[in-house]
Structure formats: C-alpha cells, structure tokens
Amino acid sequence: MKARITGTGSYAPTRVLTNADLERMVATSDEWIRERTGIRERHIAGAGEACSDLAVQAGTRALAAAGLAATDLDIILVATCTGDYPLPATACLVQHQLGATKAAACDLSAACCGFVYALSVADAYVKTGMRHVLVIGSEVMSAITDWTDRNTCVLFGDGAGAAVISASEGEQGILSTHLRSDGNLCGLIAVPGGGSRTPPSEKVIAERMHCIKMKGHETFKVAVRTLEEIARETLAANHLRVEDLDLYVPHQANVRILKAVMERLGLPIEKVMLNLDRYGNTSAASIPMALDEAVRAGRIKDGSLVMLGAFGAGLTWASAMIRW
C-alpha cells in the first residue's frame, strides 16, 4: 500500500505586482530584485480575497484532476501561516466551501515547509486506513508583508497549490518523507506580534510587529546547507543517486539559494522546477504550485522520480521522494 498523488491543482490571484511597481513603493530596483532573488513579479490577493478562497480554487482543480468528488475526501489539511482567522481552522472553511461533508479538517503550521509536512501526515493517514486526503498549501503573504520594508516586501507573493493523496497498490506513491526543525533559529524569520506572546495592540501595529521580520543573509546560508543535507539524506534513504532524479521541486524562495544547492548536489538546471520568477515566495503554497505546473507542462509523468525540498521559518526543513 502506498499513498499516491492522484491529482494536483493550483491558483494564483489575478492581480500581478511587478518589480517596476515595487520601484514606486520602496527604494529598490528591478535589476536588484532580479539579480539578488530571481523574482520578476508576484500575484497579490484582491480586497476581500482570503487564504480559504485561494485554497478552494486550488482544491477544486486538484479534485477534478484526480477524478474525485469532494464527498470522497476523508480529511482536508491546509498548510498555511496566513489563515483567514486565528480560529476556526482555514481547512474547515475550505471543507464547507467544497461541500466535503464527510471530511475532517485541520490546519498545519510549518511556514514554507507546511506542504511537505502535511504531505507526510497525509502519507501516514493513508497508510493507517484513510482513502483520500486533500492537502493544500495556501498563503496570502501580502497580509503579513511590511510594504515599507524593502528587505522583505520584494520577496513574497500569494497563491495556493493542492494535491489529492489516495491509497494505491503498486510501486507508485510517496517513497519517503524527511522532516527537521531547529527552534534555536526561531529568530531568523518571525512575525513577532499579534499572537499570545504579544497580543494585538496599537504598538504592535505601529511597529509593524504583525508583519514578517527576517534576517535574510543568515537564513540564506542555513537554507543552502539544510536543503543540501536533506536532499542527500533522502537520496540515501531510498538508495538513489542524484542522476536517478527526473525532477527536483524545491521551495521557491530565491534562485541564488537554489543554484547553490544544485551546484553542491551536481544537479543540472533542466532537472529543477523553477517558477519563482512569476510568483515569488508563496511559502507553503510554493511547492504544490510548482508541482502542479510541472505536471500540467508534462515535466512530471507516470513513473517519474520526483524529490521535493523545503526550508522556512522555525527553522524547519523537509523533503519527500515520490515515484509518480
């Protein structure tokens, strides 16, 4: 018995924010953003468009691709750090909108690693008796972005990606998942205000503590190291070599991070799915959005060997090996 991805879907809001638009908002340039990050543009949710709205669109597309009805689902997991509300869980709103009347629903918080963490939960649920799990990574990063901070506001975007994971006989499916965290590095990326440590207040708003603060340079170095380490661990656990991979689908944070990882692993760029130029860093949505694009473009086919790799706030890092 394996947990197999039987359908993927994604959704990006219609509004596009280009680097030229950002030049009018903060002291930055299209050239700096492209050279330092690889990002050209990102999608931004419209007024009133929340995390669950994006998630429902991506989830609907994934269900259609899997040929399933929402009522077939046993559970919906939404990986997000920008849910509609602190409570209820965004997954419950998605469950209602989809009409998934038989499904349980809950959220999972692991920042940019959220989708891979949720995939590992889905894998375990399927191996212990569930038949169909909908995993969605959905983020409205624009809601927690400080649009006056050039260090962070050029990086993030909004979007959602989804995958249906179903019980399946045979060799195809999730081969392994690998999860790590180091809370000692919790200060590298954080939204310091608005939670129980520092509840919402005028001070929190005035000091923009409800927005992402990041030590970009330190994060960069840890990202390269952890992505390389976990990729090697994942290959070794499956007795595979880098040459065996058909596609590496990494978290889309910064093309320079990914180029450094490719170089260290000896992975050619043709075997790496990159779409961050068009979406920026969409946190938990980035891997499932890239996965869906790769599937629909024919870069992932039946039998393809696909490795996922993520890192993010926590710090957390994670990977998965999948025989498609």
Binding footprint of ligand ACO on the chain (CB under 6 A)? 28, 32-33, 36-37, 111-112, 150-151, 154, 189, 214, 216-217, 219-220, 223, 253-254, 281, 283, 312-313
| Of 43, 251, 254, 275, catalytic | 251
| Of 112, 113, 153, 211, catalytic | 112
Residue with tokens 């040929």: 67
Nearest to ligand ACO of 7, 159 (CB atom): 159
Nearest to ligand ACO of 7, 137 (CB atom): 137
Residue 251 among the catalytic residues: yes
Q: Least distance (Å) from ligand ACO to the CB of residue 221? A: 9
Handedness of CA 161, 167, 170, 176 (dihedral sign): positive
Helix, strand, coil shares of the chain, percent, nearest 5, are 40, 25, 35
Q: Least distance (Å) from ligand ACO to the CB of residue 186? A: 11
Q: Least distance (Å) from ligand ACO to the CB of residue 194? A: 15
Nearest to ligand ACO of 33, 130 (CB atom): 33
Nearest to ligand ACO of 76, 189 (CB atom): 189
For residue 269 the two structure tokens come to 């760029």
Residue 184 among the catalytic residues: no
C-alpha to C-alpha distance for 4 and 68, rounded to whole angstroms: 14
CA distance readout (Å), 112 to 50, 204, 282: 18, 24, 8
Q: Least distance (Å) from ligand ACO to the CB of residue 267? A: 19
CA distance readout (Å), 62 to 114, 189, 264: 18, 31, 34
Q: Report yes or no: 273 and 215 within 8 Å, Cβ to Cβ.
A: no
So which residues are the catalytic ones? 112, 251, 281
